[in-house]
Amino acid sequence: MSDLLSAARDLRSTIDANAEKAGASPLPRATVDAMRDAGIYGLMVPKELGGAELPIVEVIDVVEEVSRADGSAGWCVMAGATTVAYFGSYGGDAFVQEMFADGIPLAAGQFAPNGTAVREGEGYRLTGNYSFGSGIDHADWVGAGFLVLPPEGSDAPAQYLFGVLPKEQAELRGNWDVLGLQSTASLDYGITDALVPEEATFLFAAPTRRRGGRQFELGVMVLTAAGHAGFALGVARRALDEMASIAKTKVRMGSGNFLKDDDRFLERLGILESRLAGSRAWVRETFAKAEATVLAGGSVDPGEATRVRQATVYATQEAAEIVRGAYLHVGTTALRDGPLQRCFRDIHAGSQHFFASPAATLELARDVMAAAADSGVDAP
């Protein structure tokens, strides 16, 4: 067990208690500071910048543990830890010295290319409108995806970059009135005519690793998927923990037995536990294999990346069904405010994200069909 996983487990009760008090308010500063002091926001940051640079499966484990305590906290860690890790590895030297001058910074932002920019000197003049700035309430830096338009008359394609700038250069627009992940404060924000230094950007699809180990060769999509998988597994784990705890003293109307003594309930609990274990195993297998590929000097091929992303999609959608099953099988207890209701809301919010969409599912199915033999017995 890594030191950060132990730290996350030690903070579970604190994070949970703070979440209960916060309700729909942004992630409490006490939670943010406790996780920052424990080094959790640096779980992916290169060691030379003071981070832990954990192996990918251990990253998933830490995000899973934080999400088990509170889905919003886990989501903010996922968003913040990946963003600072990207710039820690891919950012230019002078900029990274500035960004990490006071230790591991806090960052948030949307990497979808919702902005446009033009080259200006040693940087880019950027304007854009963004959504889902998870953790932006407590962030120091704000990320933004954008397209660099080619010079007028040029046939060159636009470049897709991800950049980061101080939060004070972003206009926070509020409007985070949502069902789940309420404390992520994933606000809309705008950036108007801001100059982003070139060293504070990288090519989204093909970043250059300047610091850190070869796991950063996995690229943005795979590294981001790891956090989403950990979030889903952690929320589902908490829901089943709550389901079992409630069953010890719960008697449903019309029954003379505690749920813990009802064979139908026990069968359902066993099925849900098995589904979570299966999801977790596939996540760990696919991510470990992808990381082993790059650590051995190779590159993750499109098919391998698709399987990583589909394992994340599957884990997220299974987690939503698992949490729904837990919600249904404990009766009216789940109606009331508490951890299980929070799990229900958070996982259904998380299941709407691109990393839980059917895009990877369709890609995997197309790969399967492309490799299909004329007879099943002849399949490779």
In the 3-class helix/strand/coil scheme, how is the chain assigned residue by residue?
CCHHHHHHHHCHHHHHHHHHHHCCCCCCHHHHHHHHHCCHHHCCCCHHHCCCCCCHHHHHHHHHHHHHHCHHHHHHHHHHHHHHHHHHHHCCHHHHHHHCCCCCCCEEEEEEEEEEEEEECCEEEEEEEEEEECCCCCCCEEEEEEEECCCCCCCCCCEEEEEEEEHHHEEEEECCCCCCCHHHCCEEEEEEEEEEEHHHEEECCCCCCCCCCHHHHHHHHHHHHHHHHHHHHHHHHHHHHHHHHHHCCCCCCCCCCCHHHCHHHHHHHHHHHHHHHHHHHHHHHHHHHHHHHHHCCCCCCHHHHHHHHHHHHHHHHHHHHHHHHHHHHCHHHHHCCCHHHHHHHHHHHHCCCHHHCCHHHHHHHHHHHHHCCCCHHHCC
Least confident of 38-52, 212-226, 250-264, 315-329: 250-264
Q: Is the pLDDT of residue 304 over 90?
A: yes
Q: Which CATH number fits domain 3-99: 3.20.20.70, 3.20.20.30, 1.10.540.10, 2.60.34.10?
A: 1.10.540.10
- Predicted local distance difference test score (pLDDT) of residue 357: 93
Question: For the chain, how far is it from start to end, CA to CA, in angstroms?
Answer: 37
Q: What's the CATH number for 214-373? A: 1.20.140.10
| The token pair that represents 260 in the structure block | 């813990």
**Confidence label for 375 from pLDDT (cuts 50, 70 and 90):** confident
| The token pair that represents 341 in the structure block | 């209701």
Q: Is the pLDDT of residue 256 over 90?
A: no
Q: Is the pLDDT of residue 378 over 80?
A: no
* Maximum average pLDDT range among 174-178, 282-286, 368-372: 282-286
Average pLDDT over residues 22-46: 97
Which is more confidently placed, 270 or 257?
Answer: 270
- Predicted local distance difference test score (pLDDT) of residue 332: 86
**Confidence label for 13 from pLDDT (cuts 50, 70 and 90):** very high
Q: Model's pTM, two decimal places? A: 0.96
Mean residue pLDDT across the chain: 95
Q: Where are the domains of the chain?
A: 3-99, 107-203, 214-373
- Predicted local distance difference test score (pLDDT) of residue 257: 84
Q: Is the pLDDT of residue 165 over 90?
A: yes
Q: Is the pLDDT of residue 131 over 80?
A: yes
- Predicted local distance difference test score (pLDDT) of residue 2: 87
- Predicted local distance difference test score (pLDDT) of residue 254: 66
Contact yes or no for 135/27 (Cβ under 8 A): yes
- Predicted local distance difference test score (pLDDT) of residue 70: 98
- Predicted local distance difference test score (pLDDT) of residue 145: 98
Q: What's the CATH number for 107-203? A: 2.40.110.10
Percent of the chain at pLDDT exceeding 90 = 88
